[in-house]
Structure 1
Amino acid sequence: MGPNVRPVDWLMIFLLGMTWGGTFLVQSLALRGISPFWLASARIGFAALFLAGIWSLRGFRLFEVRPSLRDTLKLLLVGICSTALPFMLLSWGQQYVASGFAGVSMAAVGLLVLPLAHFLVPHERLNLRKFLGFLIGFFGVVVLIGFQAFESSGNPLETAGRIACLTASAGYAISSVTMRNLPKVDPIGLAAMTMLIGTCVVVPTAFVVEGPVPKTDATTLGLLLLLALVPTAGANLLRVLVIRSAGPGFMSLTAYQVPVWAVIFGSVFLNEPLPASLVIALALILSGVAISQWGTLRRMFSPTSRLP
């Protein structure tokens, strides 16, 4: 029997997709007043402070029982692979690859989660239906972004940039599977700890790579606070709740939504033209989701059904 996916889990991944889809718009505005690594540091650092404040009200409770060394190492891995690693690699890699390639690499998270979850997460076995569903969803993202995402930019560091983007995707996949395998843990404490761990990695790296903290104007600071509170702190808490409840495979469906929302927000707020491929891409993505989650949907709408 697979994980018990509830209607609220569907609502949370919908909110996550919409939130992260709008992040690109806000982040592009913030980058006008701050460098990439310091932007990542501000996002994670402010989010860590916010979540730690909420966590303090719960008495800094984390694990329900004393964690083993292995559990502690898993927690460190989740913190690094879900925040520090992808934030830094994407910031660096996007300088050298076609703009659409990063979007395609993020959509690959779902395909990377499948084999990892098959071997490491009970009740998340890979089967042909799941694989086809995720593959169709991934193809929908490629159709939306355009096959030019795979065209060469001619930059000598392009290959390294592509490896960085794909490694960031692998980081998200590894952290999702590892998070699911943690023992019983307070979700707010887990969300806060991942941000605190990420801060300890990203801030020193920003100092080394980009120098001292740059001066920022009030507009940039406001955008950084918005990025920290909504798509970083708030979304990370939702991510923890979804993974712990419904599993990493279900959580990875968010990756297919993000490009769609990014295109929609770009059209609404930046007057960017909607691509003609949007309807086709959306049909493919929704079809992929339906196929990969067919058993879950049947159980939701037919409680007496015993189909897997």
Structure 2
Amino acid sequence: MQPLKPSPLSRPLIASLLASLCAILWGSAYPSIKLGYELFLVGPDDTAAKVAFAGLRFTFAGLLVLLFRFFQQGEKQRFRTLEGKSWVQILMLGLLQTAIYSIFFYIGVSYTTGAKSSILSSSSVFFSALLAHWVYANDHINKRKGLGILLGFLSVVMVNFEPNLGITFSLKGEGFVVIAAFLTSAGALYSKRVSRRIDSVLLTSMQLFLGGLILLALALTQGASFPTSTLAGYVLLLYMASLSAITFSIWTMLLQHNKVSSITVFYFLIPVAGTFLSALFLGESIFRLQYLLALPLVVAGIVLVAYSSSKTPV
């Protein structure tokens, strides 16, 4: 029997380009959400409408991945053989990592800038490193990872400082974004555990779809109207849904064919892309002292944590 040819995805150049693409697309989500609020006429204090917008996006995202996987060979059978316990775990994940997370995140983003949101959201990398220290016996914090975590959380502090030594931090804005980052980390650990029994792509598509439906139902019961917009708004919504579906699928395949740390290190591009794309599409000023100090810190922190986590159990 001839040995299997290595996947093109294992080639460093291809893997780097695709990982960079995923990170940049994820970074584009921050200005996209704020533009979506404008196009769907979501008021600044209309919480129910924000939740409905998030619900519609994730319902579509989960549906796109689910339809793609469902018609692949063997996927129908895999879907039918999910046990009752698996459905409970999927529902719990959809509730935690999609529904509850989105309530905090979509509200938080609306009360702060896209640039600051992208930097604050990166704290999920450092929360994950801290949680892994307590969950996995062979993923303790070493000196390099500890320095990365310190730099990461220092960036969270620095991004909220003003040149006059004042602090621009509100619980409903920056605070909610940080809470959402923590929920992402906690949900990822639970997802990792559940994915040992359930195909990871099927798991994510279902938790996105069910989580999105929960958000929509919650918003509609709270008086929100079903999200409607112009053609430009629906195109943006389709882009955001496709963004989630495409990036997750590519990222999952990259992790299957490459060393984990060589892929996760590209997380550093997310706050960079989020910051510069917010300046490009939202007209935000990024040449502010707190951004110039916080962005290098969060990038350095992510790189240190990623390379220190090369032996993290999978």
Same fold (TM over 0.5): yes
In structure 2, distance between residues paired with 1:115 and 1:291? 14
Question: Equivalent residue for 2:149?
Answer: 134
**Structure 1 position 30 matched with structure 2 position 36:** yes
Amino acid in structure 2 at the alignment position of 1:284:
L
Amino acid in structure 2 at the alignment position of 1:21:
G
- Going from structure 1 to structure 2, the CA distance change for 1:252 and 1:119 (only over 3 Å counts) comes to farther
Question: Equivalent residue for 2:140?
Answer: 125
Distance apart, 1:46 and its partner CA: 1.3
C-alpha RMSD of matched pairs (Å): 3.8
Question: Equivalent residue for 2:270?
Answer: 258
SS in structure 2 of the partner of residue 147 of structure 1: coil
Distance apart, 1:12 and its partner CA: 5.3
Distance apart, 1:100 and its partner CA: 6.4
Amino acid in structure 2 at the alignment position of 1:151:
I
**Structure 1 position 151 matched with structure 2 position 164:** no
Distance apart, 1:195 and its partner CA: 1.3
Distance apart, 1:133 and its partner CA: 1.5
1:227 is aligned, of 240, 246, 269, to 240
- Going from structure 1 to structure 2, the CA distance change for 1:239 and 1:164 (only over 3 Å counts) comes to farther
Distance apart, 1:40 and its partner CA: 0.7
* TM-score, with structure 1 as normaliser: 0.74
Amino acid in structure 2 at the alignment position of 1:46:
F
Which 5+ residue runs of structure 2 have no aligned equivalent? 1-9, 43-49
Distance apart, 1:83 and its partner CA: 1.7
In structure 1, distance between residues paired with 2:111 and 2:292? 30
In structure 2, distance between residues paired with 1:22 and 1:284? 20
| 1:142-167 CA-partner distances (Å, limit 9, x unpaired) | 55x452498256xxxx4355553333
| 1:261-298 CA-partner distances (Å, limit 9, x unpaired) | 1222234445655526567655434433443344578x
* TM-score, with structure 2 as normaliser: 0.73
Contact 1:64 / 1:186 at 8 angstroms: preserved in 2? Answer: no
| 1:39-92 CA-partner distances (Å, limit 9, x unpaired) | 2122112112211211211333558986583x5544333222222222221222
Distance apart, 1:136 and its partner CA: 1.9
Distance apart, 1:186 and its partner CA: 2.5
Question: Equivalent residue for 2:47?
Answer: none
1:172 is aligned, of 180, 184, 188, to 184
| 1:220-250 CA-partner distances (Å, limit 9, x unpaired) | 11111111111x2223334555677889998
2:76 is aligned, of 43, 54, 60, to 60
In structure 2, distance between residues paired with 1:175 and 1:197? 15
2:305 is aligned, of 285, 289, 292, to 292
Amino acid in structure 1 at the alignment position of 2:183:
G
Question: Equivalent residue for 1:306?
Answer: none
SS in structure 2 of the partner of residue 237 of structure 1: helix
Question: Equivalent residue for 1:21?
Answer: 27
How many residues of Structure 1 are paired with residues of Structure 2 in the alignment?
Answer: 286
What percent of counterpart residues are identical? 19
Distance apart, 1:130 and its partner CA: 1.0
